[in-house]
Amino acid sequence: MEQLTKWQVIFNPHAGCGKARRDKRHIITLLNNSGLQFIMHQSDYAGHALELAKQLAASNYTHFIVAGGDGTLNEVVNGIFQGKSHTVSKIVVGMIPVGTGNDWIRTFGIPDDYQKAIEIIKEGKTVIQDVGLITRRELAGIEKRYFTNIAGFGFDAMVASYANALKNRGISGIRVYIQSFLKSYLKYKEADTLIIIDDQRIKVNLFSISVGIGKYNGGGMMQVPDANPVEGLFHITLIRKMSLLGIIQNFRKLYSGSFLSDRRVSSHKGKHVSIKAQTLLLGEADGENLGKGHFNLQLIPHQLKVVYGGNLFPENPKSL
């Protein structure tokens, strides 16, 4: 049974627009020098990290390190829940950030530095975060997906779709998000949408809605500034139809969260969110495309044990 306590490193060489592939030898050297016991598993194609995590979780491995970005983490978490959801409380997930946006780590005090991230894993402070479950309904059927950070619908999802296409072409940095933002605005059409948050019904001409467990997405934008991943509630940011001038005025405010003061923006809390538009909406979770559909989101409180840095969760500390 001793080998089951080894860290299973799921490494995505495509993360960070190929940065992970270039840095692979360096990351392995740092892990070797850390004293951590680990086995390296490489994700070779989209969806492979999910398959690897599912197989490992089904084989009773419990300690995972994600060496990749937010999308890789999303795949690993979905694989874990599919593989061994009835013992998921025993599973621990750490992160070596190699992605483009690296948004999940911002909420959990993990630096964008390989050595420091490994030191945090060795330190072993953990907290049990909430997880979201998305059910997408469309003509072909029903699809379910877990997420650990933020899910976005409408304009946000279109931006994520364009951003992923640019990343696949090897483009990185803030240019990805600015270019995707502008292109999305030229193509996006608002839709009359019914949103139900617990028992509250909201009819709106929807620009975008972000449902958050964590605070950040889009490479550091604070889309859901009051989100708390251990609170047991979604924090929801709803943006109504907005002109280009309004978007330009609020763009920089996205990085501080101060855009919430705009009259077209409202904040909500809840455990269940239903989103149904007149036309099928685009969705994304943790930056990964969900496709079009009607969406239901359910919060699963205190579900996933993750390694964190700093002193962010003093009332909820756990140990490995």
pLDDT of residue 75: 97
Whole-prediction pTM = 0.91
* Per-domain boundaries in the chain: 2-124, 132-302
pLDDT of residue 26: 97
Q: What is the pLDDT of residues 284-314, one digit of tens each?
A: 999 899 999 999 999 999 999 999 998 888 6
pLDDT of residue 103: 94
Give me the mean pLDDT over the 189-210 stretch. 95
Residue 250 or residue 50, greater confidence = 50
Assigned CATH class of 132-302: mainly beta
pLDDT of residue 291: 92
**Calculated CA dihedral for residues 256, 220, 113, 107, nearest 10 degrees:** 70
Query: DSSP H helical segments within the chain, as ranges?
Result: 19-34, 48-58, 70-84, 104-107, 114-123, 155-168, 174-187, 244-251
pLDDT at 7 over 70: yes
Element (H, E) at 100: none
Element (H, E) at 195: strand 191-197
Q: What is the pLDDT of residues 237-287, one digit of tens each?
A: 999 988 878 877 887 888 888 888 999 999 999 999 999 999 999 999 998
**Cβ pair 125, 309 in contact under 8 A:** yes
Q: What is the pLDDT of residues 56-68, one digit of tens each?
A: 999 989 999 999 9
CATH code for 2-124? 3.40.50.10330
